[in-house]
Amino acid sequence: MPQSSRTQREANLGDGTHMSERELGDLLLRACHDLRSPARAVRTHTERIRKGSPSPELENDFMFVADGVRQIDLLTDRLSSYAIALQTEPSSFGPVRVDVLLRTLLARLDGELRSCGAEVICGELPCVSGNSDRLFQVFEELVRNALRHCGCGSPRIGITAVRHQDEWLFTVRDNGRGIETDYLERVFRPFERLNSAYREGAGMGLTICRIIVERHGGRLWAESTRSGGAVLLLTLPFFSETY
């Protein structure tokens, strides 16, 4: 199992600047807030010009500007999620029934799952200690990630958990393209995309997931398999009434 990268991240932040993760989160949230206003102004004025002076010759230019603003919105949303993940604190933790969380998640994704013929099989899932909103975000990203990289066939996703002493080891396995050995760690870097043809995301989903899991005292990593498909594993603390 890989060691947590949180210590290294704090050391890097502390070199010269001495900025804590919470301070970094606050800075990112303020920056994202300030970026949204000019992006919204560009979008509004572009639409106003487009409607007031329709020009087929400029349509591609308008579309280019609109796509650029959409990418800015997407990036600021993901950076905000990154900042919120950094601010996950143990004081917000409580019992989280992962089986209930997954049922809620699959109900929300029902339309997407049906449209691609996906099947999600869950084993017996435990109660863990954590922030329910942040853990929902983790499992949603892992399921969406499996759907995104499913290849040509119908997605098959399996989610299981086994207990190891005072923590639970979760495995999320799919039948997609898999992850090459050289990318097993790279997929957790910010803005890294496993599939270069997929440009809809900001390339931060697994980065955010790892931070959330680490803030829960766990680990998140990927493993390669001979049979194909991707395997993502994470550990979360066992819930106890005396936790």
Q: Residue 153's pLDDT band (boundaries 50, 70, 90)?
A: confident
Torsion, Cα 100 212 187 139, to 10 degrees, reads 10
Determine the average pLDDT of the residues in 127-151: 93
Q: What is the pLDDT of residue 16?
A: 53
What are φ and ψ of residue 22, in 5° steps? -65, -40
Q: Residue 30's pLDDT band (boundaries 50, 70, 90)?
A: confident
The number of residues making up the chain comes to: 243
Per-residue pLDDT at 94 exceeds 50: yes
Q: Residue 243's pLDDT band (boundaries 50, 70, 90)?
A: very low
Q: In Å, how far are 123, 138, 193 from 80, measured between CA atoms?
A: 33, 15, 19
Q: What is the pLDDT of residue 7?
A: 46
Determine the average pLDDT of the residues in 216-235: 90
Q: Helix or strand or coil: residue 239?
A: coil
Per-residue pLDDT at 31 exceeds 60: yes
Of the two residues 107 and 177, the one the predictor is more confident about is: 107
Per-residue pLDDT at 21 exceeds 80: no
Q: Residue 13's pLDDT band (boundaries 50, 70, 90)?
A: very low
Whole-model pTM? 0.79
Fill in the amino acid letter for 175. N
Enter the tokens of residue 83. Answer: 């900042």
> Which burial class, exposed, middle or buried, applies to 236 when counting CB atoms under 10 A from its CB (0-12, 13-18, 19+)?
buried
Q: What is the pLDDT of residue 2?
A: 53
Q: What percent of the chain has pLDDT over 70?
A: 86
Q: Residue 203's pLDDT band (boundaries 50, 70, 90)?
A: confident
Determine the average pLDDT of the residues in 185-208: 77
Of the two residues 118 and 149, the one the predictor is more confident about is: 118
Helix (H) or strand (E) holding 129: strand 127-130
Mean pLDDT score across all residues of the chain: 84
Of the two residues 69 and 25, the one the predictor is more confident about is: 69
Determine the average pLDDT of the residues in 106-132: 95
Q: Residue 188's pLDDT band (boundaries 50, 70, 90)?
A: very high
